Structure 1
Amino acid sequence: MKKMLLTSLLCIAVAAAGLCQDRFQSRIEALMDARPVMGLSVAVVKDGELVYQKAFGWKEEGVEQLESSDIFRIASISKSFSATSVMQLVESKALGLDDDVSGLMGFEVRNPKFPDRVITLRMLLSHTSSISDSEGYFTLDAINPSKNPNWQKAYNDYAPGEGYQYCNLAYNMTGAIIEKYSGERFDQYVRGHVLAPLGLYGGYNVNELDAMSFASIYVYDPDSAKFTLSPAAYAPRIEEIANYQFGYSTPIFSPTGGMKISAPDLARYMIMHMNYGKGETARIISKKNAQTMQTPISPEESYGLALWKTDKLIAGRELVGHTGSAYGLFSAMFFDPKEKFGVVVISNGCDPTYENGFNAVIRQTVNILYEELIKPN
């Protein structure tokens, strides 16, 4: 009798889970019917474990369905991989967060309006360096006085450490610093010291990944109501890599936005940050340094070192994480380190409309997953 009762309860629980899954999947499908969406890949962590992964829509428009194992260029969430790498080098004493970036880069990095103010590595990672993207960020020539006659324009009017402006160039500079002080090419360092210990598949080098697993990325144009393929998202850069200058050509791999990874593996990486440096298979940074990454430096933006805090993604819940957008892709990785839950959502093309500072499709998908799979009853 007892065995029969347990079996019945198990059946009820499984049936309830199935109904719940049907409900939230139908909610996501309804969202995709209401707004233009090429594809969505999602992953949910609850109680510190990956409990759900699912892909919706197209990997290649009208040709192939998206699968959870497909990988995406995740855009600016990539910055946290660069910052994590820096923290590893800080632990090995190869670098210090308050090191002068001029010395680290090998050329002068000084705001010409504040020549006596040191710009530190911590400032690069927190977007408080006063450096801007106004001269571009695809090459370090943008800020190198010996390469760019307009290098002064790469700086803002405020003093280093006294303002905030999101800056992609700062993270491409960070990638070059990682390279110089680790002795390994940037993409190879991240693969060997961040991805491999956590058992994750991905990387910054397109040529070392399975091209068949790439989810095509599309830009949606609201005026024409059409999606357009963005092949540049996975440009192989073969010639540039062949002529690579160690410690300077690093923007080729885009430390600021070029990580390619699946939603489930990004969720496993997120678990590491949720657990303050300890992943499912290994600890890769100390608890202290993981907490440093999550501690806001810029009060107006609540931004730490490639991770920021917000209560606008899910109303009333303070979460830690990052967003990404490039080539038509939108992504989000956010978690609660105290309650041990988190959500990853990646779209390879969708309606670009924003609400409350987030892409509306991404924000609404996050909230559906939270309400159906995480929120206490």
Structure 2
Amino acid sequence: MRWLVVILAGLAATCGALPRPVATEDPAPPAWTARAAIAFDAAGERGGRAEGFADAAVNRVLTLDDPVRVASVSKLVVAIGVMRLAERGILDLDRPVGDWLGYPVVNPAYPAQVVTLRGLLSHTASLRDHDDRYAIPLGGSLRSVLADPASWDPGHGPAAHRFAYANLNFPVVAAVMEKATGERFDRLMQREVLAPLSIDGCFNWPTCSDAAVARAVALTTPEGAERKDLLRGARPACPVQAAGDGSCDLARWTAGENGSLFAPQGGLRISARGLAKIGRLLLGRGTVDGVRLLSPAGIAAIEAPVWRFDGGNGATDGGFFCTYGLAVQTLASRQAGCRDDATGTARRWVGHAGEAYGLRSGLWIDRARGVGVAYFVTGLGPDDGPGAETAFTRAEAEAFRLAESLAARR
């Protein structure tokens, strides 16, 4: 909890005196390398703090503008891109995705049931992750993965509307986006979402600026061993998973062939400040800093729950997932078996969490109070476990308490 007290003290000068943060069950913070948190409202940032090192081996101090791989928070940003295309009539959330891909996309056990973008974005399409096959190397085929019965739930089809969180959904979404536009996924997301918002972010690095590459946050083990993005100013030799022969010729890209190349499920590199702008876009119902990206109806459609846990209609990951929309979670659900209340306040937060390579991240808004928080913590080990009352880890719960303290000032 020490780091949260430091954050609150640093923010007091600009935000006034803040309430005392709620005590945790275990006051000892987990080991970490870097952590950043920003509290915001629709008008702007309300305060933020960065601590630790973006690259500990060379003592490069973290800032709020340093991009990090935010893992599954990427999914929420992809949903914004999908909705941009849907609002222009380029995509249809309820049309069979095979219409774009040019081949049937069906659960082989339920061939008459259609798979749609709405089902994919809400993890109710009956796809499942199988041996991490959602990471398809260059030259590989998404079609071959989808043709494998092991990629599907044999006991439930899309019509069962059963939630099963699966990264594989998002390479399919990205492939549909590519086929509908003829544009490479990372460039499409740059044009549709990141550039209009003046966010220097990217999927898997090719469309980020040299300055952003130079500020990349390295993801390491608690002992300092490299996990991801130890770039030190040099772009990765291969920004995607290389072909089986080790080659990395992106000229081989073909629209829709392999939607996993630029990691739509978790490969967004973005800073805490950039994440806060995405959150402010949500709070502004599609508008931020005078830029309208989506209609209020589009934002409402993303946030609206598509699935709610009823005790037996899906896998909750230990009570973490209990209400889900189009790549957004809603907290706290209050149903029996749910442990998705990060702060113990039972307030309704909407957003997404991320976890990968020793990182925990999150972007959440409380629409009722008009506030939100963006955060990430790196260098976490297996000791960063969930609390007794919540499926969120200590690092995540501490970041939430920052937002709760700031929100109490309204």
Q: Counterpart of 2:397 in 1: which secondary structure? A: helix
Q: CA deviation at 1:22?
A: 9.7
More helix by share: 1
- Percent identity, aligned pairs only? 26
1:17 aligns with 2:12: yes
Q: Counterpart of 1:346 in 2: which secondary structure? A: strand
- Provide the residue aligned with 2:407 in structure 1: 374
Cα pair distance change 1:240/1:16, threshold 3 Å: closer
In the aligned structure 2, how far is the partner of 1:15 from the partner of 1:64?
A: 21
Contact 1:219 1:228 in 2 (8 A): yes
- Provide the residue aligned with 2:386 in structure 1: 354
CA deviations over 1:83-128 (Å, ceiling 9, x no partner): 1111111111111111102222222211111111111111001000
Q: CA deviation at 1:248?
A: 1.8
- Provide the residue aligned with 1:204 in structure 2: 203
Q: Counterpart of 2:400 in 1: which secondary structure? A: helix
Contact 2:178 2:185 in 1 (8 A): yes
Cα pair distance change 1:232/1:45, threshold 3 Å: closer
In the aligned structure 2, how far is the partner of 1:296 from the partner of 1:149?
A: 26
Cα pair distance change 1:263/1:19, threshold 3 Å: closer
- Provide the residue aligned with 2:114 in structure 1: 118
- Residue from 39, 43, 59 that aligns with 1:44: 39
**Farther-moved stretch of structure 1 (59-68 vs 71-80):** 59-68
In the aligned structure 2, how far is the partner of 1:349 from the partner of 1:81?
A: 24
- Provide the residue aligned with 1:195 in structure 2: 194
The amino acid across from 2:110 in the alignment is: F
Map 1:218-233 to 2 at 5 A.
Answer: 218-220=220-222, 226-231=223-228
Q: CA deviation at 1:51?
A: 1.7
1:35 aligns with 2:35: no
Q: Counterpart of 1:194 in 2: which secondary structure? A: helix
Q: Counterpart of 2:278 in 1: which secondary structure? A: helix
- State the number of aligned residues: 354
- Provide the residue aligned with 2:3 in structure 1: none
Q: CA deviation at 1:150?
A: 6.7
Q: CA deviation at 1:236?
A: 4.8
Map 1:143-154 to 2 at 5 A.
Answer: 144=143, 147=144, 151-154=148-151
Contact 1:142 1:154 in 2 (8 A): no
- Provide the residue aligned with 2:170 in structure 1: 171
- Runs of 4+ more than 4 Å apart: 19-28, 140-143, 232-236
Q: Counterpart of 2:52 in 1: which secondary structure? A: strand
Contact 2:331 2:348 in 1 (8 A): yes
In the aligned structure 1, how far is the partner of 2:146 from the partner of 2:85?
A: 33
Q: CA deviation at 1:278?
A: 1.3
Contact 1:105 1:176 in 2 (8 A): yes
The amino acid across from 2:357 in the alignment is: Y
Q: CA deviation at 1:327?
A: 1.4
Q: Counterpart of 1:43 in 2: which secondary structure? A: strand
**Farther-moved stretch of structure 1 (351-360 vs 124-133):** 351-360
**Farther-moved stretch of structure 1 (122-131 vs 46-55):** 46-55
- Provide the residue aligned with 2:313 in structure 1: none
Structure 2's unaligned 5+ residue stretches are 1-8, 240-247, 310-321, 333-340
1:285 aligns with 2:294: yes
In the aligned structure 1, how far is the partner of 2:55 from the partner of 2:177?
A: 35
TM-score by length of 1: 0.85
The amino acid across from 1:126 in the alignment is: S
- Provide the residue aligned with 1:341 in structure 2: 371
The amino acid across from 1:137 in the alignment is: Y
Contact 2:351 2:363 in 1 (8 A): yes
The amino acid across from 2:220 in the alignment is: Y
The amino acid across from 1:200 in the alignment is: I
Cα pair distance change 1:26/1:99, threshold 3 Å: closer
CA deviations over 1:65-91 (Å, ceiling 9, x no partner): 111111101111111121111111111
Q: Counterpart of 1:134 in 2: which secondary structure? A: coil
Larger Cα Rg: Structure 1 or Structure 2?
1
Q: CA deviation at 1:194?
A: 0.7
Contact 2:75 2:170 in 1 (8 A): yes
Cα pair distance change 1:236/1:325, threshold 3 Å: farther
Q: CA deviation at 1:175?
A: 0.8
Contact 1:199 1:281 in 2 (8 A): no
Contact 1:42 1:54 in 2 (8 A): yes
- Residue from 55, 62, 73 that aligns with 1:60: 55
- Residue from 294, 302, 305 that aligns with 1:296: 305
The amino acid across from 1:127 in the alignment is: H
Contact 1:59 1:66 in 2 (8 A): yes
**Farther-moved stretch of structure 1 (301-310 vs 276-285):** 276-285
Cα pair distance change 1:264/1:15, threshold 3 Å: closer
The amino acid across from 1:167 in the alignment is: A
- Provide the residue aligned with 2:91 in structure 1: 95
Q: CA deviation at 1:302?
A: 0.9
In the aligned structure 1, how far is the partner of 2:287 from the partner of 2:379?
A: 32
- Provide the residue aligned with 1:320 in structure 2: 350
- Residue from 77, 86, 89 that aligns with 1:81: 77
Contact 1:297 1:303 in 2 (8 A): yes
In the aligned structure 2, how far is the partner of 1:64 from the partner of 1:198?
A: 27
In the aligned structure 2, how far is the partner of 1:192 from the partner of 1:16?
A: 34
CA deviations over 1:213-265 (Å, ceiling 9, x no partner): 10111234xxxxx3432136875525152422222233111111111110011
Q: Counterpart of 1:119 in 2: which secondary structure? A: coil
In the aligned structure 1, how far is the partner of 2:352 from the partner of 2:147?
A: 31
TM-score by length of 2: 0.79
The amino acid across from 1:159 in the alignment is: G
Q: Counterpart of 1:115 in 2: which secondary structure? A: coil
